[in-house]
């Protein structure tokens, strides 16, 4: 016979525990201390088992009946509800582990990160932290425990990566503190414990004579047209290597002579416009028939898989093939080359920084719209391309300045 909520509410404790039956195997156990516990007796594979359904009044009679009916449906399908509960309990326990919280933090920040940064962050977590502290609760990860994990990274020679991973761990801990799942962040205690990072700038060439030599070497490159065009275009657009190789044809407007990149593909999460010089347009027109297979097709596709972008090491590998070591020149070094020479030639710093897609620390300057100063930026990019042409042709190094007129 079914019971009622009033009967459960009025039930008083006795010297020994007793139960008030409901129906379909469910009952409420009244303990000597006054506890009221819902239980369900059932048989599974010929064995008698009992499932806990919670405590009254946190779980009402109606709630307990709903849970009972859900369990009976599982039993009818050959599923043991007790085993399901064990699995759920383990899963719930895992919600407060470092890995669970780090993945939650990562997911919540994905919207404001560039795709490349999103991939890099999760890769660093999965490769360097999850295997060692992923299953630990946040408060179990003490400074010595975290240091030992970071030392593993140091010991393989990746000192800079160790510092970056430490920074990521600190962000995860601060998120855990804010959400009530950690008491403190151990990363500040590690200050000075890691090997200092020796600052290394991207190798570049700024001597005008050597720049001319490099451009002539690129012009004589004998590899594939896709790679040669990537080499030729890199010094003309000021893009980071990842931004260049992920470019798609829908971003290019040959009539307006602009390359418009959406914010989700830029490192600083801001829309970016590259005014295209006549020289850049010529390179894009040269490769368009080969790689333009629709709006979403990559300008510089992979060699084996056209649905993927060119490998991240392709331009650097081409430079090595031309005889330039990583200490001589890198794909990223073309940005430094442009910045250094343009500043030396007297171009406005704000215009250069805008075109390099740097974000000003000064919040007033950071308010620039992505299309701001586009006319002056267009003049600068065309003058820069003309200047590089002059350096390439001038084996006697007579070209010494950019004609800003």
- pLDDT of the residue at 199: 55
Active site residue 18: no
pLDDT band, very low/low/confident/very high, at 78 (cuts 50, 70, 90)? confident
Q: What are phi and psi of 125, to 5 degrees?
A: -65, -50
Q: Say whether pTM exceeds 0.85.
A: no
For residue range 98-118, list pLDDT tens digits in order.
Answer: 999 999 999 888 877 777 678
User: Is 260 designated active site?
Assistant: no
Q: What is the CA radius of gyration of the chain?
A: 32
| 370 labelled catalytic | no
The answer to whether the CB of 358 falls within 8 A of the CB of 338 is no
Q: Which domains does the chain have, with CATH numbers?
A: 5-93 (3.30.160.390), 97-190 (1.10.150.130), 208-393 (1.10.443.10)
Q: Do the beta carbons of residue 230 and residue 310 sit within 8 Å?
A: yes
Which one from 240, 257, 265, 377 is the annotated catalytic residue? 240
DSSP notation for 209-277:
HHHHHHHHHHHT--S-HHHHHHHHHHHHH---HHHHHT-BGGGEETTTTEEEE-GGGSTTS--EEEEPP
Q: How far is CA 215 from CA 105, 244, 313, 343, 347, in A?
A: 45, 18, 19, 20, 22
Which DSSP string do the residues of 311-366 spell out, in sequence order? PTTHHHHHHHHTT--TTT--STHHHHHHHHHHHHTT--HHHHHHHTT---SSTTGG
**Taking all residues of the chain, what is their mean pLDDT, rounded to a whole number?**
87
Residues in the chain: 405
pLDDT-derived band at 169 (thresholds 50, 70, 90) equals: very high
Q: How far apart are CA 213 and CA 200, in angstroms?
A: 24
Helix axes 225-237, 208-219, angle to 10 degrees: 150
Among residues 103, 137, 358, 370, the one annotated as catalytic is 358
Cβ neighbours, 10 Å, residue 391: 23
Residue 88's contacts (CB-CB under 8 Å, 6 or more residues apart) are: none
Q: Residue 144 has what pLDDT?
A: 95
The pLDDT > 90 percentage for the chain reads: 63
Instruction: State yes or no: is 368 an active-site residue.
Output: yes
pLDDT of 54-73, one tens digit each? 999 999 999 999 999 999 99
Q: Give the rounded distance of the alpha carbon of 81 from its chain centre.
A: 39
Given pLDDT bands bounded at 50, 70 and 90, which one contains residue 93? low
Catalytic-role residue among 72, 267, 271, 320: 267
Which stretch of 1-15, 81-95, 160-174, 292-306 has the lowest confidence by average pLDDT? 81-95
65 is catalytic: no
User: Of the listed 368, 370, 373, 393, which one is catalytic?
Assistant: 368
In whole angstroms, give the CA distance from residue 170 to residue 164: 10
Tell me: the pLDDT tens digits for 338-394?
Answer: 998 999 888 988 899 899 987 654 444 444 455 578 999 999 999 999 999 999 987
Q: Which of 124, 166, 332, 377 is catalytic?
A: 332
Q: What share of residues in the chain are helix, strand, coil (percent, to 5)?
A: 50, 10, 35
Catalytic residue of the set 36, 335, 377, 387: 335
The mean pLDDT of 172-199, rounded to a whole number, is: 90
Q: Active-site residue 163, yes or no?
A: no
Q: What is the pLDDT of residue 405?
A: 39
Q: Residue 2's pLDDT is what?
A: 86
Whole-number pLDDT of residue 80: 85
């Amino acid at each position: 016979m079914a019971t009622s909520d009033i009967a459960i509410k009025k039930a008083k404790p006795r010297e020994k525990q007793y139960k008030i039956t409901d129906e379909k195997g469910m009952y409420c156990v009244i303990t000597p201390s006054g506890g009221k516990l819902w239980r369900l007796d059932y048989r599974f594979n010929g064995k008698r088992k009992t499932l806990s359904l919670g405590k009254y009044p946190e779980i009402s009679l109606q709630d307990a009946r709903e849970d009972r009916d859900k369990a009976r449906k599982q039993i009818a399908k050959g599923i043991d509800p007790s085993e399901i509960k064990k699995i759920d309990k383990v899963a719930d326990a895992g919600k407060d582990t470092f890995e669970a919280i780090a993945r939650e933090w990562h997911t919540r920040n994905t919207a404001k990160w560039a795709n490349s940064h999103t991939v890099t962050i999760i890769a660093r977590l999965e490769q360097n932290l999850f295997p060692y502290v992923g299953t630990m609760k946040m408060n179990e990860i003490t400074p010595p425990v975290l240091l030992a994990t970071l030392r593993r990274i140091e010991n393989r020679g990746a000192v800079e990566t160790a510092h970056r991973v430490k920074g990521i761990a600190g962000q995860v801990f601060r998120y855990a503190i804010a959400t009530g799942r950690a008491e403190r962040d151990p990363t500040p205690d590690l200050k000075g414990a890691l090997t200092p990072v020796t600052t290394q700038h991207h190798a570049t060439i700024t001597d005008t004579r050597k720049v001319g030599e490099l451009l002539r070497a690129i012009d004589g490159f004998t590899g594939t047209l896709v790679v040669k065009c990537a080499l030729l275009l890199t010094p003309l657009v000021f893009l980071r290597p990842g931004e260049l190789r992920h470019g798609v044809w829908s971003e290019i407007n040959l009539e307006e002579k602009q390359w418009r990149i959406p914010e989700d593909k830029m490192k600083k999460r801001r829309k970016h416009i590259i005014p295209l010089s006549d020289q850049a347009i010529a390179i894009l027109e040269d490769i368009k028939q080969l790689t333009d297979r629709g709006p979403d097709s990559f300008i510089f596709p992979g060699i084996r898989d056209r649905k993927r972008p060119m490998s991240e090491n392709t331009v650097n590998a081409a430079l090595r093939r031309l005889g330039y070591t990583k200490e001589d020149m890198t794909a990223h070094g073309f940005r430094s080359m442009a910045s250094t020479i343009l500043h030396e030639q007297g171009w406005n710093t704000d215009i250069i920084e805008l075109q390099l897609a740097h974000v000003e620390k000064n919040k007033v300057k950071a308010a620039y719209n992505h299309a701001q100063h586009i006319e002056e930026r267009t003049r600068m990019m065309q003058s820069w391309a003309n200047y590089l042409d002059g350096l390439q042709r001038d084996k006697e190094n007579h070209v010494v300045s950019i004609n800003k007129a």
